[in-house]
Amino acid sequence: MPKPVTPAASLPQAEQGSPFDGTQGGFAVYQSRGRRDPFRSPQAQTSLMALKLTGIMRGAHTYYALIESESSPGMGQILYENDVIDAAKVVKITKDSVVFEVHMKNAEGKLLTHIVKKNICCPEKSN
C-alpha cells in the first residue's frame, strides 16, 4: 500500500522569496510572483513582433494590410480590419500603419490588453 503524501503544513517553510512554495495535494506549486512562468509557453506577442508590414492597399471603402513573417519571408498575407492573427485583433488600418489589440493573461491570470502599432517602413530618399 503506498504511503500517504505529507501535508504541506507539516513540511519545512520554504525559503523567503523562493518561487517554490512546497507542495499542495502531492503536487509542486510554482509561484511566479511577477516573473515569466517557465511552465507556460510565451504569449503571442512574440509572434506578432515577428510580423513585418510590407504594404497597405486602398480599396473602395477601406484599407488592406500586407504582412509577412520574418520566419518565412516572401509568404505574404492580407489582413482586413477585425481579422484575428494569433491572439491579436486588427483594430485599425490607416494609409501607413496597422493597429493590433493583443489580449494576454499575466502570471496572476488577469486579462491584459496591449495596443501594438506597426508602421510601414518607407525607404529613405537619397540625393
pLDDT score at 62? 92
Instruction: Report yes or no: 57 and 69 within 8 Å, Cβ to Cβ.
Output: no
The string of pLDDT tens digits covering residues 51-79 is 888 999 998 999 999 988 777 777 788 89
pLDDT tens for residues 13-22? 544 445 555 5
Query: Which pTM value belongs to this model?
Result: 0.56
Report how far residue 101's alpha carbon sits from residue 107's, in angstroms, rounded to the nearest whole number. Answer: 19
> pLDDT digit string (tens) for 75-118?
788 899 999 887 789 999 999 999 999 888 887 888 888 899 99
Considering only CA atoms, which of 121, 93, 70 is closest in space to residue 78?
93
Q: Is 90 helix (H, G, I), strand (E, B) or coil?
A: strand
pLDDT bin (cut points 50, 70, 90) of residue 50 is confident
CB 67 within 8 A of CB 54: yes
CATH architecture of 45-119: Roll (2.30)
Q: Give the type of residue at 12.
A: P
- Report CA-CA distances (Å) from 23 to 6, 20, 29, 73, 121: 9, 9, 6, 47, 52
68 neighbors 75 (Cβ within 8 angstroms): yes
